[in-house]
Chains A and B, each alone.
Chain A
Amino acid sequence: MTAPLHFHTITELAPLIAGGHVSSEDLTRACLSEIEAHDRALNAFITVLGAGAIAQARARDAEIAAGRCRGPLHGIPISLKDLIDQEGVPTTAASRVLGGHVAASDAPVTARLREAGAVLVGKTNLHEFAFGTTSDDTAFGAVRNPHDPSRSPGGSSGGSAVAIVTGMSVASIGTDTGGSIRIPSAACGTVGLKPAWGDVPCDGVVPLSRSLDHVGPLARSVADAWLIYLVLRGEPTAARWPLPARRSARGLRLGVPRAYFHDVLDDEVRGRFAASLAWLRQAGAQTVDVVIPRASGTAAVYLHMSLPEASAYHAGWLASVPERYTRNVRLRLEMGRYVLAEDYVRAQAARTALRREVDAALDGCDALVLPTLPIPAPVIGAASVEVAGTTQPVRAMMLRLTQLFNLTGHPAVSIPMGETAAGLPCGLQLVGRHQDTEGLLAAAAACEPIVLS
């Protein structure tokens, strides 16, 4: 280990904490120092729980001294996207709409993290109400990408990804309605897991679109994401730790959907993806081209599901305090109020068809593989971006490769697959079989060291 301890993975840190070789207090103080030093420039956090976090860490250290270790998250500093309730702490959703709201109780996921021994260091910044992919429409200032502060970290869980990359927390909990965990993970170079729909409870989390919302971890490795995922879904981790030996990529069968998914790709992202596939094949994985025939209709289906569901939740505030929203978020919420019920029903039918098509594409495969983002992190505030000689809307580009799997509910994870020449991270997305998040993570763990090599 050469990097400072607070830049290491949970898998590396957990035995050191359990053995009393590293204190949670030291680790937590190191994270808080990073926040103090860098967050004014990056805007990753909305609320920092300095004294409260240190008190939690001391309590965890006292437990270790008394011979009690709760599991691999014991004493690990973790941040929460500021849509997730933590008792006694404001939940802002990065909006002035919720100004003054303090959570009365923990969300189930927060309570599970506490029970597992995690130290909650603060609430991270996001795109207002998670209704965007760039984390720049927020009441707390645009979140900036640590790889290039003129660029977006992606979103909506932008602050969470930045916190991990900069050592402000070892891991973070985000939400994903169209890609909001995977997109910032790809843009910042972290691992981001959207579990299968329904795996992790969304109670106590400000909704965006209830039928598309997922809660999941952003982390520094697939193994870390797996450990946090187990806790979030309510499973004790102590009995399943350490992790089983990493599965080899040999014999892994990966489906590659190309039509639609490769139609608009940045040249460098295309190059990173092609190299990753070549390395995976060299390591013994088999790749097979698959087709998702209706994939080109994804954005239309997604809009007609997500917009009215979001607008329904916000209807009261849109009527009473519309001026408190950022302009772009307000306009998109207003747009949802005009979707016709008949088109919402059509979208539901198309969603069912898409789910069947993704199931069919996965038949005989361990996972689908595709880029997470078709472009590197965009410049903050840019409405459009040049991609392979064409001009494309940033929002559509950011969602293009991820939102399908929110519609279908399949688990999906983004893992780092290197960087562009300018040093901007690229992400490889793996999509697992229906309700098989653990199978997906096993495949991702096998791919992880290969696509990073």
Chain B
Amino acid sequence: MTIDDWLASACADADRRGLADLKPLLASLADATRALRGIDRDDAAGRPADPAPSGSPEPPPDGAPR
């Protein structure tokens, strides 16, 4: 799930539950999630080309093309 899709879904759910005050916090969580996935992406870029188990595919962390 992309972060934008997740945020839209989470905000809609917060509205449905009467928790509109939660939406700014969800937006800040989305920023943190981008940062987290950025660490993951940097790590993936630094991994050896053929990590064990050999041949296992390494999908991009946020569905983004690499």
Q: Which residues of A contact B (CB under 8 A)?
A: 294, 297, 299-301, 303-304, 307, 327, 331-332, 334-335, 338-340, 342-343, 346-347, 349-350, 353
Q: Which of the residues B1, B25, B40 comes within 8 Å of A346, measured between beta carbons?
A: B40
**Given A331-B22, A338-B10, A301 and B39 contact (CB-CB distance below 8 Å):** yes
Give complex CA distance A335, B6 in Å.
Answer: 13
Chain A residues near B45: list those with CB within 8 A. none
Contact (Cβ within 8 A) A346 B36: yes
Contact (Cβ within 8 A) A350 B32: no
Nearest residue in B to A344 (C-beta to C-beta)?
B36
Q: Map CB proximity to A onto B8-51 as digits: 1 under 8 Å, 0 otherwise.
A: 00100110000101100110010011011111100100000000
Q: Which residues of B contact A (CB under 8 A)?
A: 1, 6, 10, 13-14, 19, 21-22, 25-26, 29, 32-33, 35-40, 43, 61
Give complex CA distance A335, B33 in Å.
Answer: 13
Nearest residue in A to B35 (C-beta to C-beta)?
A300
Chain A residues near B6: list those with CB within 8 A. 338, 340
Separation in Å of the B58 CB from the closest CB of chain A? Answer: 13
Separation in Å of the B17 CB from the closest CB of chain A? Answer: 8
Chain B residues near A294: list those with CB within 8 A. 39
Contact (Cβ within 8 A) A303 B26: no
Q: Which of the residues B10, B22, B32, B43 comes within 8 Å of A299, measured between beta carbons?
A: B32
**Given A338-B10, A340-B1, A353-B43, A331 and B36 contact (CB-CB distance below 8 Å):** no
Give complex CA distance A331, B37 in Å.
Answer: 24
Give complex CA distance A301, B38 in Å.
Answer: 11
Q: Which of the residues B26, B35, B36, B37 comes within 8 Å of A338, measured between beta carbons?
A: B26
Give complex CA distance A304, B29 in Å.
Answer: 9
Give complex CA distance A373, B35 in Å.
Answer: 23
Contact (Cβ within 8 A) B25 A297: no
Contact (Cβ within 8 A) A300 B22: no
Contact (Cβ within 8 A) B35 A334: no
Contact (Cβ within 8 A) B29 A334: no
Nearest residue in A to B19 (C-beta to C-beta)?
A334
Nearest residue in A to B1 (C-beta to C-beta)?
A340
Q: What would 9 A/B residue contacts be, using CB atoms closer than 8 Å?
A: A297-B36, A299-B32, A303-B29, A303-B32, A327-B21, A338-B10, A340-B1, A340-B6, A350-B40
Q: Which of the residues A327, A332, A334, A350 comes within 8 Å of B36, measured between beta carbons?
A: A350
Chain A residues near B43: list those with CB within 8 A. 349-350, 353
Contact (Cβ within 8 A) B22 A304: no
Additional A-B contacts beyond A297-B38, A300-B36, A332-B25 (10; CB < 8 A): A297-B35, A299-B32, A300-B35, A338-B6, A338-B29, A346-B36, A346-B37, A346-B40, A346-B61, A353-B39
Chain B residues near A303: list those with CB within 8 A. 29, 32, 36
Chain A residues near B19: list those with CB within 8 A. 331, 334
Chain B residues near A349: list those with CB within 8 A. 40, 43
Contact (Cβ within 8 A) B39 A350: yes
Give complex CA distance A350, B40 in Å.
Answer: 7
Contact (Cβ within 8 A) A300 B32: yes
